[in-house]
Structure 1
């Protein structure tokens, strides 16, 4: 478990929270016979969310001893149910916002500070519109758009690998964001003329 924290750059409070969740679930005894790697990974995922340092399931998956996204997802639902039974109340997970991922994804892609700042502003603005996509899909599409407007253009494939969002999902999110780009992308970063010349991925 400790190795995961080092790889994901997590703080001690998250480690403590994950251990606390795991202990509660283990005390229930009903986790026997379940995939322990998936249970541990799901505890980590929930702890990150509760401590306002969310990681994507794909990021958790990368350190989860072979547990799949599906197994971690199932384990997460199981743990939340167990905790709710024990506490008699719903488990607070903390909302995920697209902005939570920008700095990390930007760093994976070697984006400049200015590009990351533009992406963060754009994501914040995008929340004013009714774009029915997950925060991570919006983050990935905004990163793709911002890099296309810079001298350091990133191929769709690279953005997909860095964010863990499928290329098709980024394409669809791009289409949903496209009509709002003049209001979303900061004017200090790109001119309206540049936005018009943006090609769909």
Structure 2
């Protein structure tokens, strides 16, 4: 009889199973009447041990932010490629695993912010960012450019905003980019500023801090992007949006 984990195709094939022999006669039992087991357990090599540890960490991080198995599988494959290539020596496996999870989210079309990955990994944003760039270079891979739309639905949902406000915020962000009002600003900060503007014009007002906590950006970052789009506020709202606060009465910063 054999017990143990299923074979992971990303491992080298170490046999972690335990073979249990059938007890026979009196010698098959100890003094307390429990069966004696004969085990044949091979030692896992250090490479597979490091991989398994990283895979567990990736799975745990993904569980904390409700990411699907496809993300975990892609993250594991990325980590395995980096591990085998030995191109990120000196970097902690936890930091590499966190960066792989961030990349997998981007590649699978469900991007998460660096701050969201930091929150579940306890690795500083700067270190994840460094590993992110090194991995893309080492594996000669790429990620799709993120847009405001990649985050809008999730941010608005986490803020418990109605569909009408989400649509307005999406429209505001899209127009702000089209009018080139936010050059050099990150899509996350633009999305946050658009949400702030939309909520301030609605009955569902949210503060910059509330939005920043959900979006993972500082209040000052939202304020800076908002100041860039505010002068064109009249041109940013969708025509059918029901204003609870007139555009002229919106906060100026």
TM-score (norm 2): 0.72
Partner of 1:69: 125
Partner of 1:165: 217
Is the Cα–Cα contact under 8 Å of residues 141 and 170 in structure 1 kept in the other structure?
A: yes
In 2, the alpha carbon distance for the partners of 1:189 and 1:198 equals: 15
> How far has the Cα of 1:112 moved from its partner?
1.3
Aligned pair count reads 194
2:160 counterpart (87, 92, 110): 110
Which of 99-108 and 5-14 deviates more? 5-14
Partner of 2:95: 38
Partner of 2:29: none
Alignment of 1:1-201 (within 5 A): 1-64=58-121, 66-84=122-140, 91-130=141-180, 131-132=182-183, 133-190=185-242, 194-201=246-253
* Runs of 5+ consecutive residues of structure 2 not aligned to the other structure: 1-57
In 2, the alpha carbon distance for the partners of 1:79 and 1:147 equals: 38
In 2, the alpha carbon distance for the partners of 1:94 and 1:48 equals: 10
Q: Larger RCO: Structure 1 or Structure 2 (Cα < 8 Å, ≥ 6 residues apart)?
A: 1
> How far has the Cα of 1:31 moved from its partner?
3.1
* Runs of 5+ consecutive residues of structure 1 not aligned to the other structure: 85-90
* 3-state SS of 1:200 partner: coil
> How far has the Cα of 1:190 moved from its partner?
4.4
Q: Deviations over 1:166-189 (max 9, x none)?
A: 111111101111122222211211
> How far has the Cα of 1:57 moved from its partner?
0.4
> How far has the Cα of 1:139 moved from its partner?
0.3
> How far has the Cα of 1:92 moved from its partner?
2.2
Task: Say which structure is richer in helix.
Answer: 1
User: Larger C-alpha radius of gyration, 1 or 2?
Assistant: 2
Is the Cα–Cα contact under 8 Å of residues 171 and 200 in structure 1 kept in the other structure?
A: no
> How far has the Cα of 1:32 moved from its partner?
3.9
Query: Over the residues paired in the alignment, what is the CA RMSD in angstroms?
Result: 1.7
